[in-house]
A = this chain, B = another copy of it.
Amino acid sequence: MTTNLNRQWRVARYPKPEEIIGPEHFEWVSEPVTEPGDGEFLVRTICLAPVPAQRGYLEKSHDSFLENLPIGEVMRGRGVGQIVKSRHPDYQAGEIFVGSLGWQDYSIQRPRGSEFVFSTKKVKNPIRPLSTELSLLGQAGATAYFGLLETGKMKAGDCVLVSAAAGGVGSAAGQIARIKGAKKVVGIAGSDEKCRWLIDTLRYDDAINYKTENVGDRIKELFPDGIDVFFDNVGGGILNAGLANLAMHARIVICGFISTDYSPGPHHGPINYQCIVYKRARIEGFVVFDYWEQYEKAERDLFEWYRSGELINAEDEDKGLEMMPDSLASLFRGGNTGVKICRVSPDPDIF
Tell me the residues in window 233-267 of chain A with beta carbons closer than 8 Å to chain B beta carbons: 235, 244, 254-257, 260, 265-267
A45-66: CB near B (< 8 Å → 1, else 0) gives 0000000000000000001110
Contact yes or no, B280 A282, CB < 8 A: no
> Is A155's CB within 8 Å of the partner chain B?
no
Residues on B with C-beta less than 8 A from A266 are 271-272
For the complex formed by this chain, how many copies does it contain in all?
A: 2
Q: Contact check, A281 vs B284: say whether CB atoms are below 8 A apart.
A: yes
Separation in Å of the A191 CB from the closest CB of chain B? 27
Within 8 A of B (CB), among A175-202: none
Q: Is the interface of A mostly helix, strand, loop or mixed?
A: loop
Most B Cβ at <10 Å: residue of A256, A260, A267: A267
B255, B271, B279, B285: the one contacting A267 at CB < 8 Å is B271
Number of A residues with CB within 8 Å of any CB on chain B: 34
The reply to whether the CB of A116 lies closer than 8 angstroms to some CB of chain B is no
Q: Is A273 an interface residue (CB 8 A)?
A: yes
Given known A-B contacts A269-B271, A271-B266, A63 and B278 have beta carbons under 8 A apart: yes
A294 in the interface (beta carbon within 8 A): no
Report which of B244, B257, B268, B285 forms a contact with A281, defined as CB distance below 8 A: B285
Query: Which A residues lie at the B interface, using CB under 8 A?
Result: 63-65, 235, 244, 254-257, 260, 265-287, 290
Given contact pairs A235-B274, A280-B284, A282-B283, enumerate 17 new A-B contacts (beta carbons under 8 Å): A63-B274, A65-B277, A257-B277, A266-B272, A267-B274, A268-B268, A268-B269, A268-B271, A269-B273, A273-B273, A275-B285, A277-B286, A278-B287, A280-B285, A280-B286, A282-B284, A283-B283
